[in-house]
Amino acid sequence: MKIEEILQKAYAANASDIHLLAGTPVMFRIHGKMVSQDGAALLEDEIEEMIQAVISKEQWKELQEEGEIDVAFSLEGFSRIRINAYSQRGSYGAALRILSSKIPTPKELHLPDAIVKLTQETKGLVLITGEAGNGKTTTIASLLHAIVQNDTKHIITIENPIEYLLPHGKGMVSQREIGTDTKSYANALKAALRQDPDVIFVGELNDIETIEEAIKAAETGHLVFSSLCTNQTEDTLSRLIEVFPEHRRQQIRVQLSAVLKGVIAQQLLPRCDKEERRAVYEILLMDKNMRTLLREDKIPQMIAALEQEKVEGMQTMDEAIRSAYMKMQISEETAVTYARNPELMRTKISIY
């Protein structure tokens, strides 16, 4: 079986991911669920041929030496695809993520206005968070695409790997890939400040040096977008601060309180009215009260304020979930399962 054949079937099935593993048939992830495909179990040689068909000789050598590789590629007739190939039990496996050939607009993603308005900021730090596979990359690509199409700005992205290829518009986009164009996120962020950017996207804030450089970029007058694999806003803020040694945490709280513009946590929920998933968003925007609470190390109070204060544009994850339920887009079971507070959600739904 050729990789092109599998991709054609995956596109037809509207799959988001493809899994290749010796001893099992091809598996697709469709609307969040794993679905086995008809056909014989894959052989080790077949998988090796498929992997080598989409990566370079240098990348194949890296896979053999390191045991895993994470790259994105393009094939004629298909959208861009990300592949993570890895060694397991003496053979190779691969997980392929299918990326849309078209970057969706914020309107097509049904992004709330409060999120879209963050693209109009001229400086500061915006964080898009959520568990893996919940659409963070697509949301960020949509926001960056909107900026470059509407404004004469220079955007620099630092990614591992580059997933969406962002076209130039009124502005211009420089996309840099870790391992190919630069050695690390931190190095690329340092260099970016000398490349006259207006907007910077850094794929991950995964270590102290990268976090420091991202904050510095925001402090020096740039709009910085980044993502973290955290499910809740409270976890996001705590992780950014607690990665630093204790004697530095208050300094970081002060810096973050000054530059942070918003934290967006998102989930993709299975819809009950059609065969697709629906994104829901928790939105925390940094007003004067939120900045004070963050500076004073009162993150739990920030979350309480988000729940209690009805500030325009802000909403909790459970409010977003309940809204989707009231619009009859998700089932009661889904609303309760994905809620931060399942019992309270069950109670509110029963009243409704």
Model pLDDT, residue 39:
87
Looking at 73, 98, 123, the residue that finishes a domain is 98
**Residue 211 counted as domain residue:** yes
Same domain, 309 and 199: yes
What pLDDT does 352 receive? 67
Q: Output the domain CATH number for residue 13.
A: 3.30.450.90
Q: How many domains does the structure of the chain reveal? A: 2
Look-up: residue for tokens 């694999």? 229
So what's the pLDDT on residue 75? 85
d(CA 314, CA 285): 6
With CA atoms as reference, report the closest residue to 115 among 137, 143, 152: 143
Q: Is residue 325 part of a domain?
A: no
Copy the structure tokens of residue 303.
């979350």
> Helix crossing, 249-259 with 233-242: angle to 10°?
130
pLDDT tens string 224-261: 999 999 989 999 999 999 999 999 999 999 999 999 99
Crossing angle between the packed helical segments 44-54 and 57-66, to the nearest 10 degrees: 130
The span from the CA of 41 to the CA of 49, in Å, is 15
Integer Cα distance of 348 and 114 in angstroms: 25
Residues 305 and 163 in one domain: yes
Residues 246 and 206 in one domain: yes
What residues pair up with 202 in beta bridges, in sequence order? 158, 226
DSSP β-ladder status, 223-228 and 199-202: parallel
What pLDDT was estimated at residue 59? 95
Phi and psi at residue 175, to the nearest 5°: -110, 125
DSSP 141-204: HHHHHHHHHHS--EEEEEESS--S-PPPSSSEEEEEEBTTTBS-HHHHHHHHTTS--SEEEES-
161 and 290 co-located in one domain? yes
**Digits of tens for pLDDT over the chain (352 positions)?**
899 999 999 999 999 999 999 999 999 999 889 999 988 899 999 999 999 999 999 999 999 999 999 999 988 888 889 999 999 999 999 999 998 778 999 999 999 999 999 999 999 999 999 998 899 999 999 999 999 999 999 999 999 999 899 999 999 999 999 988 999 999 999 999 999 999 999 999 989 999 999 999 999 999 999 999 998 999 999 999 999 999 999 999 999 999 999 999 999 999 998 888 999 999 999 999 999 999 999 999 999 999 887 778 999 999 999 999 999 999 999 999 999 999 999 999 987 6
pLDDT the model gives residue 179 = 87
Residue 105 lies in a domain: no
For 27-80, write each residue's pLDDT tens digit: 999 988 999 998 889 999 999 999 999 999 999 999 999 999 999 998 888 888
Q: Do 140 and 283 have their domain in common? A: yes
State the pTM of this model.
Answer: 0.87
Q: What is the CATH number of the domain that holds 263?
A: 3.40.50.300
129 vs 225: CA distance, rounded Å: 11
How much is the pLDDT for 68?
96
161: preceding bond cis by omega (within 30 degrees) = yes
C-alpha–C-alpha distance, residues 295 and 125, integer Å = 16
Full domain range(s) for residue 159: 113-315
